[in-house]
Structures are given as C-alpha cells and as structure tokens.
Amino acid sequence: MTNNDVVRGFSKLTEEEKRSFIARLCNDSVQAEDRFERFIMEDETERSHFLELSENTISSFHTPYGIAPNFLVNGKVYHVPMAIEESSVVAAASHSARFWVEQGGFTVTRLSTVKLGHVYFRWYGDPAYLRDRWHQLKLFLLERLKKLTSNMVRRGGGILSLELMNETATIDHLYKLELKVETINSMGANFVNTCLEDIAEALELYFTVDDEPESKNCQVAMAILSNYTPECTVTVEASCEIEHLLPIAGRLPVGVFADKLCLAYQIAHHDPSRAVTHNKGIMNGVDAVLMATGNDYRAAEAAAHAYAARDGKYRALSNCFVEKNTLKIALTIPLAVGTVGGITNLHPLARLSLEVLGNPNAKDLMGIVASVGLASNFAAVRSLVTTGIQKGHMRLHLSNILNTLNVNNGQREAAELYFSNRKVSFNAVKHFLHEITH
C-alpha cells in the first residue's frame, strides 16, 4: 500500500483498525502505531468523549498549554490559560501583562454581543408583492420560532430582529432575510443555524400554501449563520504616562520610544503588507486563549480579518497614540465566544481553563481574550522598535532546535551558555554542536 492508493470504507473501520492502517504508511509502522496510541488519554470515558469530537480519529495532537499570569482586566486579575506551540507568544504576553498591571491594566470600554445569520432566496415574482407581504410573513416566521427560542429567552437571549434585504443589485432575483440574535453565554452557532433552517422551511411553506399566482416564485438557496460579527465586538484599552515606559524602552529615550511605537501602529493602519503581520500578532494571543477555553478560533480569525477590511482596505485592528503626555493603546475586535455548551462542556482542559479564569460569562471572556490579543500585539511592536523581533523569539526557539537535534544535557547547557549573547539560527547551533563534539 502507498499514499497513492484509494481506500474505501475507512470510516467503517474500528479505531484500532484505522490506526494500524495509517501506521503502515509510515517508515516504522510499529513505532508509528505506538506513538498514535500513546498520545490518546488513558481514562476510558474521557477517551471516548474525546475521540467522538471529530471523525476518523486515530490519535490526538498535543499543543503546549501554558499560563500568562497577571492580566488585570476591568480591575480583576486573571492568570490566563493559552494553548499554542509557537515560541515566545506566552512569554511575550506575560511580559506585557506584567508591565500593564502596574499601569492600571486593561479596560473594556465597549462591548456588543449581537450574532447574525441569513436565509438567502431567489424571488422571481413581482418585488412589490414580496414587499407588501413582508409584514405578514415576518409575523408568521417569528411565531414559528417561539418553539425553538423559549429556553434562550428564559436565559435572557433570543431573537432581536428579522429583516428582509434586497440583494438584486449584486445577483439577479436574490434576497436575504437577516436574523439578529442574542445567545448570552453560548457561542450560539447551533442555535442560530437551527432558527435559520426553520425560517427557510417556513418561508417555502408560506408561499406553497398561498394560492395566489405570485406565490410560486420563491426558491430558498441556503440558511447559515455568519461568522462576520461586526455587532459582536469588544474594545479594550490601556494607557500610561510616557515616563512610565522607561523599563521597556530598551536603550531609547522614552519620548523616542513612544514616537516609534505610534509610527509602527500608523504604518500598520495604512500598509496592508504590515497590517497582516500586525494582526497576526494580535491573533497569536486571541487564538491561544480561544483554543484553551474550547472556543472556535477559526471563526474568530475569519471575523477579525474581514473586520480589518471593513472600509475596503485591510488595516490594523489596534492603534496607539499619545495624548497629553499619555500613551494609549486600544483594540477593537469581533469575538463570538461561549462559556457553556459545545466543546467547553466536553473537553476536560477547556472546562478547567474556565475554572482557572473564575468561570467568566461570555462578556467577561471577550474582554479577557481581547486583552491578551492587545498585550501580545504590544509586546511584538515593542520588540520591533527596540531590539528586533528575532532576539527574543530565537532565544526561546533555541530549545526547539536543541530538541530537534537530540542533544544531551551537557550539550544543551553548553549551547544555552554560548548563545546567551549570540544570534541563534539552526545552522549556527548545528555548527556549534559539531565543534564541541569533534
């Protein structure tokens, strides 16, 4: 069997059969199968739940789980779990949090939690007929939804609005129904999609039972939530007097340091080439906390990058400016998060992460996540305008290089000492190890 062979019925194999089948594609099938097996949790109940999270699961892919301590958000200190494999991210966030905690921490200044979804359909009849019937149709659709939304309403959420939108300027005959909902402490994807599919079914039903000639002209295309959530955003800010920047300004005078910081943020605002990397630095922190708490980081990434381009040009999500001798940084980002339901109830570390954070509600978690994103971003920009990004990053990456080269403890200690004041690269480390062993 080779990687080019087509396999049929793979999903019908048992877990062990799948693992054995895939292991035979590896150089050492016995070792591969053993490694696949060893990376799955031993507790039978947790193992069963974990394997059922996805399909055709044969193992688990571990990611380092670390803590960025001392995040002061709205007057409360959090020690934030982060799941990420990239060197320096947790260290940079922690360093940034330690600085800002002495300046009063991070403050959530704005927050909204409206989720969106749409039913897209073609209308081949008279547009005036559809507009005239909309009020009656809307009441019909909302009445049907009550059976699905009663529990959410009891928790304080539910349907906020349902509107008809004309999209025929972009695609012939296309209309959409836009649903806005409040899902309280759940991310809400399943709830929103269930409501939308009910609306789609009811839309076709409404026109099918109507015996007027114009009523046969509705064709539903699809019903789906939108991961673009411009009304589910959080803004966090932090500020300090310029003089207080001295401990992190490196060898720069604080005034020059503050000026270079502001310039770096301005460049990211105007230049998409820089903005993409700038925003990646934000998402390093955001994604790591979302991963640790069992939230959908892919949805957050999609929403953030769409939001960054909302005026037609891709820009930085954060900004930095000086006002009356005070440096201020701020981040506005769309974040749809949940603290109940989904993987947060199934993944044992996701549950523990929320406990570590004091079991926050969804709004509080939005503030925590955004604060880590802003701290990560600030740490990266601070490095860029002082020592450069590679000094800290490659120093932490040295450990990964040494692990790749399978060094012993003595070689590791020698390499760490040698590279404590030298530039780190894979070739440089390899050459150094060759020199001390030959």
Q: Is 280 a catalytic residue?
A: yes
User: Of 33, 237, 296, 364, which one is the catalytic site residue?
Assistant: 296
User: Of 76, 180, 280, 328, which one is the catalytic site residue?
Assistant: 280
Whether the CB-CB separation of 373 and 410 falls below 8 Å is answered with: no
User: Of 115, 118, 269, 393, which one is the catalytic site residue?
Assistant: 393
Rounded to whole angstroms, how far apart are CA atoms 125 and 90?
57
User: Of 46, 86, 178, 201, which one is the catalytic site residue?
Assistant: 86
Across the chain, how many H-helices and E-strands are there? 15, 10
Whether the CB-CB separation of 331 and 374 falls below 8 Å is answered with: yes
Chain-centroid distance of CA 438 in Å reads: 47
Q: Is 12 a catalytic residue?
A: no
Q: Is 210 a catalytic residue?
A: no
Rounded to whole angstroms, how far apart are CA atoms 89 and 289?
11
Whether the CB-CB separation of 237 and 107 falls below 8 Å is answered with: yes
Rounded to whole angstroms, how far apart are CA atoms 412 and 130?
73
Rounded to whole angstroms, how far apart are CA atoms 315 and 171?
28
Residue located via tokens 């509107």: 163
Structure tokens given for 399:
């450990």
Rounded to whole angstroms, how far apart are CA atoms 114 and 109?
17
Within 10 angstroms of residue 267's Cβ, the number of other Cβ atoms is 15
Within 10 angstroms of residue 335's Cβ, the number of other Cβ atoms is 25
Q: Write b or e for each residue in 9-37: b if 16 or more Cβ atoms lie within 10 A of its Cβ, otherwise e.
A: eeeeeebeebbbbbbeeeeeeeebbeebe
Q: Is 296 a catalytic residue?
A: yes
Structure tokens given for 386:
């002082």
Which own/partner pairs from 323-327 qualify as long-range (CB within 8 Å, at least 24 positions apart)? 325/241, 325/242, 325/243, 326/239, 326/240, 326/241, 326/242, 327/239, 327/240, 327/241, 327/242, 327/245, 327/258, 327/261, 327/262
Whether the CB-CB separation of 372 and 288 falls below 8 Å is answered with: yes
Structure-derived torsion over alpha carbons of residues 251, 253, 258, 261, reported in degrees to the nearest 10: -30
Please name the residues in contact with 316: beta carbons below 8 A apart, sequence gap of 6 or more.
265, 268, 269, 274, 275, 278, 279, 308
Closest CA to 62 of 89, 39, 81: 39
Q: Catalytic site residues? A: 86, 280, 296, 393
